[in-house]
Amino acid sequence: MTGAVATVLAVVLAAAACALALPGRASLGGGARRARGTPYLLGGGTLLVAVLAAGSPRLAVLAVIGLVAAAVATRLVARHRADRDEAVVRGRVVELCATLHAELVSGQAPAAALERAAGDWPLLAAVTRTAATGGDVPAALRDLTGTPGAGDLRVVAAAWQVAHRTGHGLGDTVVRVGEELRATEQTRRVVRGELASARATARLVAVLPVLALLMGGSAGADPWTFLLATPVGLGCLAGGLGFLLAGLTWIEALARDVERGR
């Protein structure tokens, strides 16, 4: 592989790494995206320049291939954690409705019931302060709906507002909202279980090439030398890894869209 070809391939892969290193909007805000993406951009660019300056384009290609793989893997892990955190927050919203209903039925005033129902959940600290001072509780709840997983607080806010304007019992309204949210969450769990087999199959397929390389090495062949030391091997390694990571990302994106009802 000539130096020019290797340099072009390294730059293309570096651009892919820069794009893939930034987590998506579904899990992170703009500032967090830039903060988490910056180390990849700086580290990858520094490594690429250093290796190219050392006069080893082949090592530059290998380094950037590794950077792309690390960026995609980090992004998938970050999305998985974000989805898990969102599920936890949705569960807390359902618990909030159930506890709020129980407190109201026991005779607590709405503000006191909300404070007890919120418990040690820091997310609702501002809402409980607003309720204690007689402020606009529905507006305070809506301000929190931008938090991942807290979108259902918009329904709780609507229930609070309707009960306040009509004089209808807040407890009855909240318990119905909680039942609807619980049913929706159960549906999500069923969908997640149905998608588990597809995700497991994708991960198994992703591991198979590594097993094939190990088996080839144990059988007396030398696939690693071909992949790491020849121009054609480097192209095959970059292309194969690209298709593998693209497939994993695509399957995760499809599964996530199905879970969110898109």
Angle at CA of residue 104, ends 101 and 108, nearest 5°: 150
Residue with the bigger pLDDT between 247 and 141: it is 141
Check residue 40 and give its pLDDT.
53
Greatest mean pLDDT among 9-23, 33-47, 146-160 lies in 146-160
Check residue 50 and give its pLDDT.
56
Check residue 116 and give its pLDDT.
86
Measured distance CA(246)–CA(97) in Å, rounded: 40
**Which of the four pLDDT bands, split at 50, 70 and 90, describes residue 21?**
very low
Give the count of beta carbons closer than 10 Å to the beta carbon of residue 156: 27
Measured distance CA(88)–CA(103) in Å, rounded: 22
pLDDT tens digits for 105-164? 888 888 888 888 888 788 888 888 898 888 898 899 999 988 888 888 998 888 888 887
Contacts of 223 (CB under 8 A, 6+ apart): 213, 216, 217
Measured distance CA(183)–CA(94) in Å, rounded: 10
Q: What is the mean pLDDT of residues 77-96?
A: 87
Contact 71, 245 (CB under 8 A): no
Check residue 177 and give its pLDDT.
87
* Secondary structure of 207-250 in HEC code, one letter for each residue: HHHHHHHHHHHHCCCCHHHHHHHCHHHHHHHHHHHHHHHHHHHH
Check residue 143 and give its pLDDT.
92
Q: Side-chain half-sphere of 240: how many Cα atoms within 13 Å?
A: 14
- Whole-model pTM: value is 0.67
Give the C-alpha distances (Å, rounded to integers) separating 73 from 45, 80, 145, 203.
19, 11, 29, 12
pLDDT tens digits for 161-190? 888 777 667 888 888 888 888 888 888 888
Measured distance CA(73)–CA(200) in Å, rounded: 16
Check residue 77 and give its pLDDT.
82
Measured distance CA(117)–CA(95) in Å, rounded: 8
pLDDT exceeds 50 at position 29: no
Give the C-alpha distances (Å, rounded to integers) separating 30 from 22, 24, 37, 43.
10, 9, 11, 20
Tokens of 156: 């709780």
Measured distance CA(235)–CA(99) in Å, rounded: 59
Measured distance CA(200)–CA(154) in Å, rounded: 34
pLDDT tens digits for 229-243? 777 877 788 788 878
